Amino acid sequence: MTLIFSIFTFVFLAFAASAQAAEQNPVGAPSSAVAPVFVNAAVNVPENIPLSHYFAETWDTRDGLPHNSINALAQTPDGYIWAGTWEGVARFNGRKFALFTRGEETGLPDSGIRSLSLDSQSQELYVAGSRGGVSSVKGNFWQPLPTAAYMINFAQRVSDGALWLALEDGGVMRRFQGQEQHFLTQVSTYHVLEQGDKVWVASSEGLYVYQNGQMQRPLGTNNALNGMIYKLALDHNQRLLVGAEQGIWREAKGGFSLLDKALKHESVSAIMVDYRGDIWFGTINHGLFRYSEFGLEKLDANVGLPSNRILSLLEDQERSIWIGTNAGLFRLRQAPFTTLNHSRGLSGDYVRTLLSHSDGALYLGTSNGLNRYENSRATPLGQRPGAPISVLSLTSGSDGGIFVGTYTDGLMYFDGTKLTSYLNRDTGLPSNEVRAVLEQDDGGVWIGTAAGLVHRDKRGKLQLYTDEYDLPGNFIMALSEDDKGRIWVGTGVGVGYFEQGQFNRVWLDEQFDAEYAFGFLMEPGLVWMATDRGLVRYDGATGQLRKVGKEQGLPVDKLFAVVVDEFDHFWLSSNRGVMRVSRASIIASMEQPEQQMEYTLFDQGDGMLSSQANGGSQYPAILHKDNNVWVATARGAVMVDPDKLTRMANMALPVSIEAVQFDSHPQQVYQNTVVDVSSEHNRISFTYAGLGYVMTERIEYQTRLLGYEQHWVDRGNLHITEYTNLPPGSYRFEVRARYPYGSWQSSGAAVEIKVAPKLWQTIGFKIAVVAMLVLLLLLFYRLRFYHLKRSEAHLKKRVKEQTQVLAKQAQAFEHQATHDQLTGIANRRAFDQWLVAHFVQAQRDEQPLSMLLIDIDHFKQINDQYSHLIGDQVIVSVVQVIANCLPPQALFARWGGEEFTILFPGLNEDEALQWAQRIRHQVASYDYSMLASGLQVRVSIGAADIDCAVNVDRLLSHADKALYLAKEQGRNRCLGHRRDYLLCEEQP
């Protein structure tokens, strides 16, 4: 869809200023004289975040925009985002852009759009631009207005009903009750803004104000406000903000003052005040700025903005910020996840382990060292010259320090100020690779290494445990203590726990084929394990194991960590991202393994720089003390606030039904209207969109068709619903939407449809049918009476006719018994009778008798290539060809399948072969193209006579052997038994 990326480094402004000015008003801090006004903290507003925590997305012409210059932005009350470009205005529903250009539908004379503004009273959107075109749009209805003589840079209807038009080289026009007033003629004006009883105008010759019917310069302006002015806005105290060629100015007593001295040389092209009171403004050449409690922040092309030229700004209903540039559309939103990485102060991006410490800070272990994160600032700790310390595991010490397991330096200890060696291979560890550490209440420390488990008691005595002590494996990745004081050990080959001086094995491999145990979550009586075959639960009371994994719908088997948040949601980290699933769903799938779990997978589209979470070390994911979930990944530590996610999920989502399609005929629909459905249509499809932009791809839908179904039907993420063969009547289609785990709206979008009955479903048709049935019954009664009278007279005639029919049937049965049904010639039964009779007669009269046995070559291939139907037609055609070239005395029959026999009384074998050659030639030369293109048919023929046959069976055998030889020698040939097969002598 888009180029999606997160922005984690923002460059603060560095402007040249005198030393004295820098001391009094440092860059990045609001000037005391013009301190920004922010929303009171008591207001129920989500916590503000720095620009570095926003998630960014970009759209351009590759994603459906008609042009990359986004001149204007607006959001209509129905939820659509509108973008005005030089090639038309695009309406965005979160998934795709719908384009509107000049023409009949819009009434615009040109596609170049410069202005989009919303009338707060009528909720109409005013679209204006090139060639003086201006139209209003509400829902799907466009209303063209009279064109102006100049290009319109901005159009705005104010509270008294007047429409103001800011014109290029044409001043400003006020349209009111059919009258037009022109001011500042021959001056280019760019923006119009209403403030109480005033209307402010930004122009190429400075700032003007319209009040009491007069257009004049305001008092207290300076040279900067007498030059080029581009944009106007009101802050939360309704003070005028002026975007000029020389900075951004704010209305003050007796005049105007710079918002910040650092902005004196910025050309401000766009201004927007968000719902908090933060001031956003775009510049002509230097990108985007925000003026907030975080000071003055900047975003430019060096850190992700498509272009440094900002043309328009918009805050949508979900508090996302849309930025129109001359290189595409850009959006900043508060993504579910934010990432802490090297660009924000970490010693490295590859984070392996996390620790929520009692001092309230978050500690992070990376491949480049130990870090503390506190008050939105990351600080590397315990740095040393040369090779950095690669941290694998962290755990709190009883005295407030931190045990630090490393890759090559063994176990170290951080006391709050410095990092020192605690244990290593030289002082008793079997390996310097320490992936898990656990301190018990008695002061004992368990140390998991790559070569075994070490216990150090409070006196400093070391005890090494390996697989020789029934430890499942020597490569230790996780350690934890349950509510019974048992020490759980996760290894690369299974799980065990230490109790009363010995290890007990938990056999994951036998039941679940699981080997790696990456992490534990301890709850009273329960042990949850993240394994390479999913999430496993161990019941301490019964010893029972249950598991959920790919079989229950999870996208992956290998899980690295399991964390439970304050809403009783489980967070599972993996190489594919982080999954959130409710405890209820997990328990249900454990009790009924065939039940699929409902989960949400978060990945790079949700604010993570990398969806690859790390595992193989202790605590790769934790629940911090502020109830945020942190996960270690290959490109930083990602954080999600479950409470914030819940708030985002419960945002009200407007829904739009965009089209109704009848069979293959789409039709645009309008909300709360009635759509007539012709009786000729059998399939009705509804296309709809939830107009939410925070998590567009995750929007879920429910629909119902009142009059057909009473209950809501879950549609998942599908945005189309189809019905077929609806009975005639009136229906109401309703759709509602939500984000995952959010609440369904009480109402959504709806459209009425009225399905017309087919002819046979109309009342008139049914009445006509009833009347016809009554007439038919009456007619039947009269006819029945008439027929009873005639039946006696016809009875004898019918008996006679039936007798004749029976005689014909007998003849037909006799014919069927001796003739082939497909070809109409004699069948094998008839031929057998002929053969016996003529054989006996020929022997008695010492007369010659010969026969031909004919087979269609490669007939199976004909069936396979052209179908059995063509094969049957081939048989019929061959029979017709053979029958047409036979002498009168020949007896022709179908032997079976594709084989035929011909009996020649009075002819010997040589004479029969002459007829055979004629038959073969006629069959081969016949045109079969009428049956199938390219079809050719050939036959093989075997001949024999009674000279070498002592009986009928021998004659048949001789002909069959001759046929076999003909087929063996290549087919499409005629061979005789005496002449070619050389088998005249009788064989015993």
Q: Give the span between the Cα atoms of 150 and 190, in whole angstroms.
A: 12
pLDDT digits (tens, 9 = 90+) for 586-623: 999 999 999 999 888 988 877 788 899 999 999 999 99
| CA of residue 520 relative to chain centroid, distance | 33
For 945, residues 6+ apart whose C-beta sits below 8 A from its C-beta are 848, 849, 850, 851, 907, 908, 909, 912, 955, 977, 978
E strands, 134-203, in order:
134-138, 141-145, 152-157, 163-167, 172-176, 179-183, 189-195, 198-203
pLDDT digits (tens, 9 = 90+) for 127-160: 999 999 999 999 889 999 999 999 999 999 999 9
| Confidence grade of residue 43 (pLDDT, cut at 50, 70, 90) | very low
Averaged pLDDT, 650-656: 84
Tokens of 449: 């290494």
Q: Name the strand (E) or helix (H) holding 864.
A: helix 859-866
What does the pLDDT read at residue 263?
Answer: 86
Among 88-92, 207-211, 802-806, 927-931, the minimum mean pLDDT is found in 802-806
| Confidence grade of residue 751 (pLDDT, cut at 50, 70, 90) | confident
Asked if pLDDT for residue 983 goes beyond 60, the answer is no
Q: Give the span between the Cα atoms of 429 and 433, in whole angstroms.
A: 9
Q: Give the span between the Cα atoms of 171 and 192, in whole angstroms.
A: 11
The candidate with the shortest Cα–Cα distance to 271, out of 260, 261, 259, 279, is: 279
pLDDT digits (tens, 9 = 90+) for 936-954: 999 999 999 998 788 888 8
Q: Taking the CA atoms of the chain, what radius of gyration do you get in angstroms?
A: 46
| Confidence grade of residue 29 (pLDDT, cut at 50, 70, 90) | very low
Averaged pLDDT, 515-520: 94
Residue ranges covered by each domain of the chain: 12-334, 347-649, 655-761, 762-816, 819-981
Q: Give the span between the Cα atoms of 455 and 655, in whole angstroms.
A: 61
Q: Is 297 helix (H, G, I), strand (E, B) or coil?
A: strand
pLDDT digits (tens, 9 = 90+) for 530-539: 999 999 999 9
| Confidence grade of residue 194 (pLDDT, cut at 50, 70, 90) | very high
The CATH homologous superfamily for domain 347-649 is YVTN repeat-like/Quinoprotein amine dehydrogenase (2.130.10.10)
Q: Give the span between the Cα atoms of 934 and 984, in whole angstroms.
A: 41
Q: Give the span between the Cα atoms of 587 and 592, in whole angstroms.
A: 8
The candidate with the shortest Cα–Cα distance to 850, out of 866, 837, 838, 861, is: 838
What does the pLDDT read at residue 673?
Answer: 67
Asked if pLDDT for residue 487 goes beyond 90, the answer is yes
For 4, residues 6+ apart whose C-beta sits below 8 A from its C-beta are 56, 57, 58, 604, 605
Its pTM stands at: 0.66
Tokens of 839: 């054989």
Asked if pLDDT for residue 570 goes beyond 90, the answer is yes
Tokens of 784: 């029945």
Percent of the chain topping pLDDT 70: 93
Q: Is 928 helix (H, G, I), strand (E, B) or coil?
A: coil
Asked if pLDDT for residue 11 goes beyond 50, the answer is no
E strands, 707-748, in order:
713-716, 720-724, 729-738
- Specify whether the CB–CB gap between 333 and 320 falls below 8 A: yes
What does the pLDDT read at residue 3?
Answer: 36
For 567, residues 6+ apart whose C-beta sits below 8 A from its C-beta are 642, 643, 646
Fold matches, 12-334 and 347-649: yes
The CATH homologous superfamily for domain 655-761 is Immunoglobulins (2.60.40.10)
* Length of the chain measured in residues: 988
The candidate with the shortest Cα–Cα distance to 354, out of 384, 386, 396, 314, is: 396
What does the pLDDT read at residue 21?
Answer: 31
Q: Give the span between the Cα atoms of 67 and 938, in whole angstroms.
A: 69
Asked if pLDDT for residue 382 goes beyond 60, the answer is yes
Averaged pLDDT, 280-296: 92
- Region of 172 please: left (phi>0), alpha (psi -120 to 50) or beta: beta
Q: Give the span between the Cα atoms of 981 and 247, in whole angstroms.
A: 113
The two beta strands, 974-976 and 939-945, are: parallel
| CA of residue 596 relative to chain centroid, distance | 19
- The string over 578-591, giving b where at least 16 C-beta atoms fall within 10 Å of a residue's C-beta and e elsewhere, is bbbbbeebbebbbe
| Confidence grade of residue 37 (pLDDT, cut at 50, 70, 90) | very low
| Confidence grade of residue 242 (pLDDT, cut at 50, 70, 90) | very high
Among 63-72, 388-397, 716-725, the minimum mean pLDDT is found in 716-725
| Confidence grade of residue 6 (pLDDT, cut at 50, 70, 90) | very low
For 84, residues 6+ apart whose C-beta sits below 8 A from its C-beta are 70, 71, 72, 73, 74, 113, 114, 115, 116, 127, 129, 312
What does the pLDDT read at residue 22?
Answer: 31
CATH architecture of 12-334: 7 Propeller (2.130)
- The string over 57-69, giving b where at least 16 C-beta atoms fall within 10 Å of a residue's C-beta and e elsewhere, is bbbbeebebbbbb
| Confidence grade of residue 671 (pLDDT, cut at 50, 70, 90) | low
Q: Give the span between the Cα atoms of 123 and 142, in whole angstroms.
A: 13
| Confidence grade of residue 675 (pLDDT, cut at 50, 70, 90) | confident
The candidate with the shortest Cα–Cα distance to 129, out of 165, 90, 92, is: 165
What does the pLDDT read at residue 781?
Answer: 85
Residue 982 burial (C-beta neighbours within 10 Å; 0-12, 13-18, 19+): exposed
- What one-letter code names the amino acid at 957? S
Tokens of 165: 């038009």
pLDDT digits (tens, 9 = 90+) for 702-742: 999 999 988 999 998 898 999 988 888 899 999 999 888 78
Asked if pLDDT for residue 963 goes beyond 70, the answer is yes
- Specify whether the CB–CB gap between 116 and 89 falls below 8 A: yes
Q: Sheet harboring 310-315: ordered strands across?
A: 3-6, 55-59, 328-333, 321-325, 310-315
- Specify whether the CB–CB gap between 975 and 981 falls below 8 A: yes
- Specify whether the CB–CB gap between 669 and 660 falls below 8 A: yes
| CA of residue 242 relative to chain centroid, distance | 44
- Specify whether the CB–CB gap between 71 and 312 falls below 8 A: yes
Q: Give the span between the Cα atoms of 651 and 745, in whole angstroms.
A: 9
Mean confidence (pLDDT) of the chain: 87
What is the third-level CATH fold of 819-981?
Alpha-Beta Plaits (3.30.70)
pLDDT digits (tens, 9 = 90+) for 685-694: 889 999 888 8
- Specify whether the CB–CB gap between 573 and 531 falls below 8 A: no
Tell me which of 354 and 51 has the higher pLDDT. 354
Asked if pLDDT for residue 561 goes beyond 90, the answer is yes
- Specify whether the CB–CB gap between 681 and 307 falls below 8 A: no
Asked if pLDDT for residue 683 goes beyond 80, the answer is yes
DSSP 611: S
What does the pLDDT read at residue 669?
Answer: 58
Q: How many CB atoms lie within 10 A of CB 142?
A: 18
Averaged pLDDT, 440-462: 94
Tokens of 388: 């950095």
Asked if pLDDT for residue 13 goes beyond 50, the answer is no
